[in-house]
Amino acid sequence: MTIFAIIGHLAATTGNFNLNDMPGGAGRMDILCRAVNTSLFLSHDLRREVTVYLVLLGGTDAPKTIMFSGEKVRSLNPDERSAGALIKKALEIPVGEEFRESTRGVYVRRGGLSRLLLAHAFAVLDEDGEDIGTATTIPEAFLLSDHLNFTPEELEMTCSYPKYSVGPKVLHADHTITVLLNVLDRRCGGQ
Amino acid sequence: MTIFAIIGHLAATTGNFNLNDMPGGAGRMDILCRAVNTSLFLSHDLRREVTVYLVLLGGTDAPKTIMFSGEKVRSLNPDERSAGALIKKALEIPVGEEFRESTRGVYVRRGGLSRLLLAHAFAVLDEDGEDIGTATTIPEAFLLSDHLNFTPEELEMTCSYPKYSVGPKVLHADHTITVLLNVLDRRCGGQ
């Protein structure tokens, strides 16, 4: 299993955002939609072994965490609006402390990063980290940020975690995920 | 300079499509928008050395070719609607045989693949091609298809071209571009 968690520092936590304005009113939700896309899609297939967490920290009902299960998700298409519509539905249902399924393979709960970090052995994507292309060990879980840097509090929570980069240029979160998965594909020989 | 050309076999060639329905009514224009994104965006920067061609073969006014210049483009944001809006504007203006600028750094002309292939030394992305990660030579221009396979006519036009793959799994066009650029970044050391 491979896990990606992306922090949406401004991302909406209520379902009343407009799918036509995800970069604006929804707090750069477009970034999280593209991260879902790059985490889960293959040509004419899905990456069933991948799970994606979106940590939503914006708006009046923060924090919430949404989980997309590559194994179970249905009704997901590659365009941003498709992932956005599933996120919107997840944010429209009553939510408690445990994950609740909003649509097939999509789940939502209250809580943010501190709780999520307890669940998996995360590594952090960092432009000064070890190049994943030549790393000897590959972690099972990767933590990325949206268009904003990790906050001082997030950096403190993750300061002891291994850090990886994806090459000499700094990429958007979704592009970073594509490169990470390509490295994993090559190590596993496509199996 | 690096060049990507993506064929949109069903993609609209008139500007009356709806930005809310790019996967449907606009003929999978969402794929081309994401290809523009992955070709041109770095974190907080643009890839100024990249040019993207979109070969649009759908609708009533086909074929048309749109060019995005990474060096000159402005007003482009990473979300699909942003690229879609610039494509829509390009398809709304009167168009002739030569490229005409529709918005800053975006150009449109009549004509399709056969003419474009004369302008650059293209290689073709093909799951059975040589792995670009270990290739000894890197082409300057890459030709990709949308969600549909190359047609027999397109295959015939490109049968003598070098062919490359990006690893053991078959990826969407936009993800393929991300991997190609990461390979180029590594070879150039990020310069």
How many cross-chain Cβ pairs, A to B, lie less than 8 Å apart?
102
Q: Of all residues in chain A, what percent carry a pLDDT higher than 70? A: 98
Interchain proximity A190–B168, CB inside 8 Å: yes
Interchain proximity A30–B172, CB inside 8 Å: no
Alpha-helical regions (H) of chain B: 29-40, 80-92, 113-117, 152-157, 173-188
pLDDT, residue A45, reads 95
C-alpha angle A140-A158-A22 in degrees, rounded to nearest 5 = 80
Total Cβ atoms within 10 A of residue B16:
11
pTM: 0.97
Chain B residue with minimum CA distance to A169:
B190
Chain A residue with minimum CA distance to B146:
A43
Residues of A in contact with B43 (CB under 8 A): 147, 169-172
Residue B111 distance to chain A (closest CA, Å): 27
Does residue A122 carry a pLDDT above 60? yes
Does residue A46 carry a pLDDT above 90? yes
pLDDT, residue A51, reads 98
Residues of B in contact with A82 (CB under 8 A): 23
Residues of chain B contacting A, Cβ within 8 Å: 19-20, 22-23, 30-31, 34, 37-38, 41-44, 77-82, 133, 147, 166-172, 175, 178-179, 182, 185-186, 188-190
What string of pLDDT tens digits covers the 191 residues of chain B? 999 999 999 999 999 999 999 999 999 999 999 999 999 999 999 999 999 999 999 998 999 999 999 999 999 999 999 999 999 999 999 999 999 999 999 999 999 999 999 999 999 999 999 999 999 999 999 999 999 999 999 999 999 999 999 999 999 999 999 999 999 999 986 54
Closest CB to B167 among A20, A41, A185: A185
Interchain proximity A185–B172, CB inside 8 Å: no
Handedness of CA A143, A149, A152, A153 (dihedral sign): negative
The tally of domains found in chain A comes to: 1
Mutate to test the interface with B, among A29, A134, A174 (most CBs of B within 10 A): A174
Question: pLDDT band at residue A65, thresholds of 50, 70 and 90?
Answer: very high
The residue segments making up the domain with residue B109 are: 1-191
- What does the alpha-carbon distance between residue B104 and residue A65 come to, in Å, rounded to a whole number? 39
Encode pLDDT of A141-175 as tens digits.
Answer: 999 999 999 999 999 999 999 999 999 999 999 99
Interchain proximity A171–B20, CB inside 8 Å: no
Interchain proximity B79–A22, CB inside 8 Å: yes
Question: pLDDT band at residue A188, thresholds of 50, 70 and 90?
Answer: confident
Q: What is the CATH number of the domain that holds A183?
A: 3.40.1280.10
Chain A residue with minimum CA distance to B166:
A182
Cβ neighbourhood burial of B4 (10 Å; 0-12, 13-18, 19+): buried
